[in-house]
Structure 1
């Protein structure tokens, strides 16, 4: 089985596991530095698989995903956050579920792009990815543990 087939099968299981282990830090990176959490989780999974991408590959993937999310996911997330205090719990939960569906769409876009990329990198994906946001990876090594 190829890495990408494994990725396809285990994407949500592993990413959910990583996310729940580091949820507070993931949300902090998303809110304070606009880090794409799906790509962050992908970088962790790919590092564990030894599937290294180049800085150019990460930059292209980040740009493509951001373009889609900027038009769809991010405005919806902002609306959900603004609506939180004016909705009853059930309505707010429905908005969270729609956002999760949009996150899955984003992961589909990521997987499509990933299938087009060779694994020719020579540095940790987490390090390369965080450098795109001008973050020092040494400060976030607990993610890789």
Structure 2
């Protein structure tokens, strides 16, 4: 890990890694669903997964807070992540499997940077009690629990989707 990576990891809240691991586990249950939402509705998969995770943790963000999360990653998304993803998809037919896998690995690294940006902004939005609630949720919830746990509400999912004038019913299964 680079020195800047070490400094950044000390700045990230304690729940950072565990929450994104839960999100990754959720993603791996239905990857095509999440990619479809990304492609069909221009949703950010990391934010969509985070909305579901926060619903499971019973932490509610307002639509304005969701807008601030979107704003926090907007430049990274538009200038780095989306152009790279498009280039990877276009290069798929011209590359051998090892080269294409390398491109996927780089894209995953870019996604992790997006998660860091989200985490830094979310850290500013949460109250101390919500920080503690999310920390306890991330410690006490393993990946199997997360998959089985049905959120009591879809408040965050609905608030995030409303930023794009979408409703949960608009998501394609």
Aligned residues: 136
| Pairs within 5 Å for 1:5-24 | 5-6=14-15, 8-24=16-32
Distance (whole Å) between structure 1 residues aligned to residue 157 and residue 96 of structure 2: 38
- How far residue 93 of structure 1 moved from its aligned partner, in angstroms, is 0.2
Contact 2:37 2:172 in 1 (8 A): no
Distance (whole Å) between structure 2 residues aligned to residue 100 and residue 33 of structure 1: 20
TM-score (norm 1): 0.86
- How far residue 113 of structure 1 moved from its aligned partner, in angstroms, is 0.3
Q: Which residue of 2 aligns with 1:135?
A: 166
TM-score (norm 2): 0.73
**1:68-104: CA deviations, max 9, x gaps?**
1111111111110110000000000000000000000
| Pairs within 5 Å for 1:1-145 | 5-6=14-15, 8-118=16-126, 124-140=155-171
Greater mean deviation of Cα atoms: 21-30 or 107-116: 21-30
- How far residue 12 of structure 1 moved from its aligned partner, in angstroms, is 3.0
Structure possessing the higher radius of gyration over alpha carbons: 2
Contact 1:131 1:137 in 2 (8 A): no
Gaps spanning 5+ residues in structure 2: where? 1-12, 128-152
Higher relative contact order (CA 8 A, sep 6+): 2
Gaps spanning 5+ residues in structure 1: where? none
Distance (whole Å) between structure 1 residues aligned to residue 90 and residue 79 of structure 2: 17
Cα root mean square deviation, aligned: 2.0
Greater mean deviation of Cα atoms: 35-44 or 55-64: 55-64
- Structure 1's consecutive aligned runs of 4 or more residues displaced over 4 angstroms after TM superposition are 139-142
Name the SS for the 1:116 alignment partner. Answer: helix
- How far residue 23 of structure 1 moved from its aligned partner, in angstroms, is 1.4
